[in-house]
Structure 1
């Protein structure tokens, strides 16, 4: 049984890439002291710039009392960064060998009672905790970009994870205005990424086969199913497609179509030709717009969309877990 810290006051973020910096911004905006560490050259400067970029959006969302960018400290050594914190969010690159090594190092140096959460998008927690001395306190906490705005975080425990650790993590993420989804079964890619990967694979096939451009495929989602999914997701969207009888009628009428060879489950080979089509398509779509400008537009849109979601789907939950 893991002995947990009673109150989370200070957080460490290990790895300051896009996801790590997103976590840092969210934690700061919620009024926490944050210490970050990353061995990459120039990491501290990029981190500060990323937090500065995210801050206007967080101000629009509403900062917690005491929230300040001044509560962020960068530490060059991992040992010092994690030694005196209550919660550690690991965000190093998605390589199994690297993550296992870093998590084992974190576990070795973190104080008793600290929770260790990995932001892995696909690796199962039992694999990640395999080299840790205290695997019972290691979980997966997989967010979605931009972490400082998107509320979903998928929580998954490994074979040796203490259920009390998952519950404490769930309460913590809930307290920082996130929607923690506790997933009961370990599976590569968890839930959200597996669904996104299915669409991504199909999109690559459509480009590869010359059926549609990247711009046309994006438009087909933005102005079609994406609008409905933002409120209801795939199941309730199709429930409404069944009319008064809902999903029962939908499955009776459209279920046989599932046998038709519409989709291609395996991804196409990522040839140079396909890569160039995708890259050139995206560059054409964003011509004259910098990534920073696109990020700003995305953030403003997400803030308004979250307000709409709360208006039309308040306190959405899944058996009390969301």
Structure 2
């Protein structure tokens, strides 16, 4: 793979593919986009124009953004000189199996073959494909030119060097790649999102709260918290200086009384202890004061940005 200006083929020009194309072009990469949609040129042009201000705010040079993107009539043309292929096609194992078999044949032998699949692990569509060692999941969150996470999920036949290259590639375009070492449908992000969505629907259906009120609760509590710390670090800090162990021992029992809608049995003491130790291994090397100080600075920054955005919206509404 070229270390200066690699060529990236974007297969599929839906919402995700167009956002990927804008991100890659914003980082100076040569981009080749293909999709059978008849309005491909218009869609790409509109997506680049819409993304340009966002990319500029990230400090990227958007001059000549469109010049770095070329349309390809079909897959063979798009991948001919590609160093990386980012597939963002239909969520269908049959479609992906046929496409990736073709990509293995027609893309250069060094090209990394990545799928934006939201739920299908790579192993579900790579059985029987030669050279599946360079195929793996690179699942973004919409829109990828703004949301930094990319779930990097190797299949059973993915080579370790392909994982390493995928991580390096996504870091080169300022994404945050997280490697997941076990394939599960939906990966991690969508499973967490799905669990929260199921509970949100249940609360609304039961008449506990309305949709607008539930969203307000999320935005002004968990949404704010989780924009700066995740569930485990949040719980670790919620336990005070005693950390996650204090949280699990003193607050955990009352939280477990809320019930588990999945029907999963309660954790055994041994399972709880293993989880406590895992959280302590992750965060125990830093002091409570250090971690809470960092959390508070980030949360204040988010609140300041939201307040400014609200003020800007009000200003626009009052303009003649």
TM-score by length of 1: 0.78
Structure 1 residue 178 corresponds to structure 2 residue 178: no
Change in Cα spacing, 1:133 to 1:23, as seen in structure 2 (3 Å) is: same
Where do 1:1-322 residues align within 5 Å? 5=1, 7=3, 9-64=6-61, 68-265=65-262, 305=302
Instruction: After TM superposition, give the deviation of residue 189 of structure 1 in Å.
Output: 1.3
1:129 and 1:138 mapped to 2: Cα distance?
A: 8
Change in Cα spacing, 1:66 to 1:104, as seen in structure 2 (3 Å) is: farther
SS in structure 2 at match of 1:246: helix
2:303 and 2:13 mapped to 1: Cα distance?
A: 26
1:44 and 1:51 mapped to 2: Cα distance?
A: 11
Q: 1:238–1:250: 8 Å Cα contact kept in structure 2?
A: yes
1:141 and 1:42 mapped to 2: Cα distance?
A: 26
SS in structure 2 at match of 1:11: strand
Q: Deviations over 1:10-54 (max 9, x none)?
A: 000000111111110110000011000011232332222112111
Q: Deviations over 1:114-153 (max 9, x none)?
A: 0000001111111132242210110100111110011111
Instruction: After TM superposition, give the deviation of residue 182 of structure 1 in Å.
Output: 1.1
Instruction: After TM superposition, give the deviation of residue 307 of structure 1 in Å.
Output: 11
Change in Cα spacing, 1:20 to 1:306, as seen in structure 2 (3 Å) is: farther
SS in structure 1 at match of 2:44: helix
- Higher RCO (CA 8 Å, separation ≥ 6 residues): 1
TM-score by length of 2: 0.78
Higher Cα radius of gyration: 2
1:67 and 1:230 mapped to 2: Cα distance?
A: 33
May I ask how many residue pairs the two structures share in their alignment?
267
Instruction: After TM superposition, give the deviation of residue 259 of structure 1 in Å.
Output: 3.4
1:50 and 1:156 mapped to 2: Cα distance?
A: 27
Q: Which ranges in structure 2 are unaligned for 5 or more consecutive residues?
A: 264-300, 306-320
Change in Cα spacing, 1:225 to 1:51, as seen in structure 2 (3 Å) is: same
Over aligned residues, Cα RMSD in angstroms? 2.1
Change in Cα spacing, 1:306 to 1:165, as seen in structure 2 (3 Å) is: farther
